[in-house]
């Protein structure tokens, strides 16, 4: 039987952004953290944030438990606006103060070119962390917009570098 090959016409999505996100349980307390976030994430997706085209969930491993999401956004501005507003803003600020026994990462890919990534409390390399040099997410590497070469954002981050590290 012949294979039915198909593709997609993305010409209507010139600023498309694809982001992979993952959360790995690093300690037993991470199970509670992960279980608490699941319904909140489902609720935020059900609210259909402006610019979110598709959200898909998947499991990367069962031991240690490592779950992921893939999201397609109309453009980086929509993604960034959503990620810097409630409820995401609160989740992220809380996580950066205490990871709750989990590790979090994301990798963002831009239709117009460019990639950026962050890995917080991820003890075992995943994604690009497994082959590319790893550096501290400080200074110009602190924000996703700067890592992606998009310049400074007009929307304040959930926590500034000074809020997180002092100085």
pLDDT (tens place) for every residue of the chain, 167 residues total: 999 999 999 999 999 999 999 999 999 999 999 999 999 999 999 999 999 999 999 999 999 999 999 999 999 999 999 999 989 999 999 999 999 999 999 999 999 999 999 999 999 999 999 999 999 999 889 889 889 988 777 777 888 889 888 86
CB 112 within 8 A of CB 15: yes
Reported as type and span, the H/E element at residue 29 is: helix 29-46
Distances (CA, A) of 14 to 8, 38, 110, 111, 122: 13, 31, 9, 7, 32
DSSP-derived secondary structure for 62-89: ETTEEEEEEEEES-HHHHHHHHTSTTHH
Cα separation, 61 vs 68, in Å, equals 10
pTM of the full structure: 0.93
Cα separation, 53 vs 34, in Å, equals 24
Domain spanning 17-165: CATH 3.40.190.10: no
- Reduce the DSSP state of residue 60 to 3 states and report it: strand
């Amino acid at each position: 039987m012949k294979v039915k090959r198909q593709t997609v016409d993305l010409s209507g999505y010139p600023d498309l952004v694809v982001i992979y996100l993952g959360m790995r349980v690093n300690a037993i307390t991470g199970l509670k953290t992960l279980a608490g976030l699941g319904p909140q994430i489902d609720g935020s997706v059900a609210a259909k944030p402006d610019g979110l085209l598709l959200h898909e969930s998947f499991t990367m491993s069962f031991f240690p438990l490592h779950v992921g999401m893939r999201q397609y956004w109309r453009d980086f501005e929509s993604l960034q606006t959503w990620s810097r507003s409630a409820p995401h803003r609160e989740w992220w600020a809380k996580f950066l103060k205490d990871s709750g026994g989990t590790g979090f990462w994301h990798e963002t890919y831009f239709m117009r070119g460019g990639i950026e990534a962050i890995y917080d409390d991820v003890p075992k390399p995943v994604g690009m962390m497994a082959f590319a040099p790893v550096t501290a997410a400080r200074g110009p590497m602190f924000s996703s917009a700067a890592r992606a070469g998009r310049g400074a954002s007009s929307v304040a981050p959930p926590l500034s570098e000074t809020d997180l590290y002092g100085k």
